[in-house]
C-alpha cells in the first residue's frame, strides 16, 4: 500500500502468482495440488466462512480429494488452514487429540 497524499490510500492491483501447494490428506495415496492461498482467499470467501459456507474451500481441491477433505476433523482443518495460509510448503504434524 502506498500513500500519494495524507488523504489518499492507493491499493495496488493484485496479480495472481499462479503458485500451487501440495497437500497430503489422510486416506489419499498421494498429495494433491491446490492453488496458493494468496490466489484464492478473499473477503467474500471469509464472509462465507463466517456464515458457515465452506463449499468454496472444498472446491479448491480436485474432485478426487473432496471427500477426503470433507472427512477432516476440526483440528485437522485448523492444521491445514495454518499450513496453507502461513506455512506453505511446510509439513504440518498430525494432531493427536
CB 10 within 8 A of CB 2: yes
Helix, coil or strand: residue 2: strand
Predicted pLDDT at 5: 66
> In DSSP terms, which residues pair with 33 in a beta bridge?
22
Distance CA 3, CA 28 (A): 48
Helix, coil or strand: residue 83: helix
Global pTM exceeds 0.75 = no
Please tell me the least confidently modeled range out of 3-7, 13-17, 26-30. Answer: 3-7
Q: Is the model's pLDDT at 95 over the cut of 80?
A: no
pLDDT digits (tens, 9 = 90+) for 64-93: 999 999 999 999 998 998 999 885 444 444
Amino acid at each position: 500500500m502506498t500513500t500519494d497524499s495524507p488523504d489518499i490510500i492507493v491499493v495496488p492491483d493484485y496479480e495472481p502468482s499462479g503458485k500451487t501447494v501440495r497437500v497430503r490428506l489422510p486416506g489419499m495415496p498421494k498429495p494433491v495440488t491446490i492453488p496458493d492461498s494468496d490466489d484464492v482467499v478473499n473477503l467474500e470467501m471469509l464472509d462465507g466462512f463466517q456464515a458457515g459456507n465452506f463449499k468454496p474451500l472444498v472446491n479448491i481441491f480436485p474432485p478426487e480429494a473432496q471427500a477426503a477433505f470433507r472427512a477432516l476433523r476440526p483440528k485437522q482443518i485448523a492444521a491445514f488452514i495454518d499450513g496453507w495460509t502461513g506455512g506453505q510448503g511446510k509439513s504440518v504434524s498430525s494432531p493427536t487429540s
